[in-house]
């Protein structure tokens, strides 16, 4: 079957397919040899319109299409794809995909394990199916897979014939092959020399209500009319020479591109297109990571310097004692010394009591701590005589403070006392 563009000679306008399948249609016209690669007839369809077309090698077609995201449609000869409507018992509907191949085993020559099946419409007691040889399909796809082309659809060329309703036959002749569609999902092709036998067999199974004839040229149309038996010739309601190539109906087509012949993603070809942007993006990421790492190192150094400064300040304030968290320890010291803004008498008590502590002769202050919660100053003082400590206590009382000696001990003639000073 051919899909070359020819002159329209229709009796009436034929409606177009409801939703034609876009993509790059390829059909093998010359197999590869040791001297030359395979040649394909191809056409590209986009948004319902045919664009570029020609006959060339697959590499040349890829270069002409120049689209890594293109959908590729592999068109197989109609006599390589067989369609059937298979009857099902009620208890077979659930497992029909597993059972159907073996129900056909007695009707076909090939081993069913060597066939690739796809399934169409499922009725109450029947299912439409199509099958082809696995080895032939694998060979046909090999060149496309080698180039990582996304073959999203594998179709019979007879399945490109316009969609029909039940009871309507569509026949097409190019002078060599007769392609037919006897029902929406019942199609195929035979040599034109077998046309009479095919018509007789098909009419015995079910006579059509209407026949539509398509041909590549006038001679092929005349030949097709002569081949129709009398019982079918009067059913012809439409005849036409093709005005443009045929495209598959996306909603109806029996697509053979199912497991294990799923479309392969063209990763290598995509990578070639996005290689430079990826390199630029990777360089930007590396640069960003480098700058971030540099900033982190600088901040880390500043943090270490800050920790060192805090430790030095704490050691200056508290010469003795262990250091675990100098910042927290400094805050605790400030809290204990009453360096808070609300309700603290620390400044008043210290400003009034410190002159007394400094001016009292013979008395030495060893430790000083302000308890903010209790609002009191705790002292540890020492003097040569207990009377000196009592004199200092009396002076604090004359200043309006409460002064209480909590404990006294004597060591080698030196008196040491713990005192509590509060504001009255």
pLDDT for the residue 3: 40
Which tens digits make up the pLDDT trace of 65-77? 988 888 999 999 9
CA atoms within 13 A on the CB side of 114: 7
Same fold for the pair 18-161+248-265 and 342-423: no
Residue 291 belongs to what H/E stretch? helix 267-317
Cα–Cα distance between 324 and 336 in angstroms, integer? 18
Residue 414: how many CB atoms within 10 A of its CB? 12
Residue 123 tokens read as 């009725």
* DSSP 8-state code for residue 20: B
Q: Which of 15-24, 80-89, 185-194, 294-303 has the lowest mean pLDDT?
A: 15-24
Q: How confident is the model at residue 196 (pLDDT cuts 50, 70, 90)?
A: very high
pLDDT surpassing 90 at residue 198:
yes
Residue 156 tokens read as 């019979």
Task: Report which of residues 207 and 325 the model is more confident about.
Answer: 207
Q: In this structure, are residues 186 and 126 in contact, taking their beta carbons and an 8 Å threshold? A: no
Task: Kindly state which CATH superfamily the domain 342-423 is placed in.
Answer: General secretion pathway protein M, EpsM (3.30.1360.100)
Q: How far apart are the first and last CA of the chain?
A: 117
Determine the CATH number of domain 18-161+248-265.
3.30.420.380
Q: In this structure, are residues 270 and 32 in contact, taking their beta carbons and an 8 Å threshold? A: no
pLDDT for the residue 222: 95
pLDDT for the residue 6: 36
pLDDT for the residue 353: 78
Residues of the chain with pLDDT > 90, as a percent, come to 46
Task: Report which of residues 403 and 117 the model is more confident about.
Answer: 117
Cα–Cα distance between 82 and 95 in angstroms, integer? 21
pLDDT for the residue 219: 95
The domain limits of the chain are: 18-161+248-265, 162-244, 274-338, 342-423
Cα–Cα distance between 168 and 211 in angstroms, integer? 6
Strand partners, 73: 25, 153
Strand order in the sheet with 23-30: 49-56, 39-46, 23-30, 72-76, 151-156
pLDDT surpassing 70 at residue 99:
yes
Q: How confident is the model at residue 58 (pLDDT cuts 50, 70, 90)?
A: very high
Round the CA-based radius of gyration of the chain to a whole number and report it. Answer: 50
Most confident of 22-26, 256-260, 390-394: 22-26
Mean pLDDT computed over every residue of the chain: 85
Q: Which of 43-57, 255-269, 395-409 has the lowest mean pLDDT?
A: 255-269
pLDDT surpassing 60 at residue 390:
yes
pLDDT for the residue 14: 44
Question: What are the CA-CA distances from residue 412 to residues 214, 380, 383, 385, 408 (Å)?
Answer: 131, 17, 12, 12, 13
Tell me which residue has tokens 């996304």. Answer: 150
Helices (H) and strands (E) in the chain, counts: 10, 17
Residues of the chain with pLDDT > 70, as a percent, come to 86
Q: Which of 4-13, 160-169, 320-329 has the lowest mean pLDDT?
A: 4-13
Question: What are the CA-CA distances from residue 211 to residues 75, 191, 230 (Å)?
Answer: 25, 19, 13
The DSSP annotation for 327-381 comes to: HHHHHHHHHHTT--SSS--HHHHHHHHHHHHHHSTT-EEEEEEEETTTTEEEEEE
Which tens digits make up the pLDDT trace of 146-163? 988 989 999 999 999 998
Which CATH fold topology does 162-244 show? Nucleotidyltransferase; domain 5 (3.30.420)
Cα–Cα distance between 181 and 172 in angstroms, integer? 9
Residue 216: how many CB atoms within 10 A of its CB? 20
Q: Is 306 helix (H, G, I), strand (E, B) or coil?
A: helix
Residue 335: how many CB atoms within 10 A of its CB? 14
Is the pTM higher than 0.85? The answer reads no
pLDDT for the residue 2: 42
């Amino acid at each position: 079957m051919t899909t070359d563009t020819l002159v329209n000679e229709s009796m009436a306008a034929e409606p177009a397919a409801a939703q034609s399948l876009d993509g790059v249609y390829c059909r093998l016209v010359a197999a590869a040899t040791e001297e030359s690669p395979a040649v394909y007839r191809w056409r590209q369809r986009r948004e319902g319109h045919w664009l570029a077309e020609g006959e060339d090698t697959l590499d040349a077609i890829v270069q002409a299409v120049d689209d890594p995201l293109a959908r590729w449609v592999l068109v197989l000869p109609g006599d390589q794809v067989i369609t059937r409507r298979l009857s099902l018992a009620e208890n077979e509907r659930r497992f029909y995909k597993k059972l159907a191949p073996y129900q056909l085993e007695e009707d076909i020559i090939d081993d069913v394990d060597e066939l690739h099946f796809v399934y169409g419409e499922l009725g109450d007691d029947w299912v439409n199916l199509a099958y082809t040889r696995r080895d032939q399909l694998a060979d046909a796809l090999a060149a496309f897979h080698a180039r990582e082309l996304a073959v999203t659809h594998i179709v019979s060329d007879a399945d490109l014939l316009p969609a029909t309703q039940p009871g309507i036959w569509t026949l097409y002749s190019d002078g060599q092959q007769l392609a037919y569609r006897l029902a929406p999902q019942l199609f195929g092709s035979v040599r034109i020399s077998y046309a009479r036998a095919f018509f007789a067999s098909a009419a015995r199974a079910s006579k059509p209500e209407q026949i539509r004839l398509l041909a590549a040229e006038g001679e092929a149309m005349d030949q097709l009319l002569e081949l129709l038996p009398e019982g079918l010739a009067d059913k012809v309601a439409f005849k036409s020479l093709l005005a443009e190539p045929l495209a598959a109906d996306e909603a109806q087509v029996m697509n053979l591109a199912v497991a294990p012949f799923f479309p392969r993603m063209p990763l290598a070809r995509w990578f070639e297109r996005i290689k430079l942007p990826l390199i630029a993006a990777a360089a930007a990421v590396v640069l960003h990571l480098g700058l971030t790492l540099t900033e982190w190192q600088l901040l880390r150094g500043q943090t270490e310097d800050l920790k060192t400064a805090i430790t030095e300040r704490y050691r200056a304030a508290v010469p003795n004692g262990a250091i675990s968290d100098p910042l927290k320890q400094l805050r605790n010291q400030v809290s204990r010394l009453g360096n808070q803004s609300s309700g603290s008498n620390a400044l008043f008590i210290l400003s009034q009591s410190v002159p007394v502590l400094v001016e009292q002769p013979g008395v030495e202050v060893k430790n000083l701590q302000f308890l903010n919660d209790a609002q009191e100053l705790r002292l540890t003082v020492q003097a040569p005589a207990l009377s000196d400590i009592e004199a200092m206590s009396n002076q604090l009382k004359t200043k309006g403070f409460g002064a209480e000696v909590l404990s006294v001990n004597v060591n080698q003639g030196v008196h040491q006392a713990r005192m509590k000073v509060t504001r009255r």
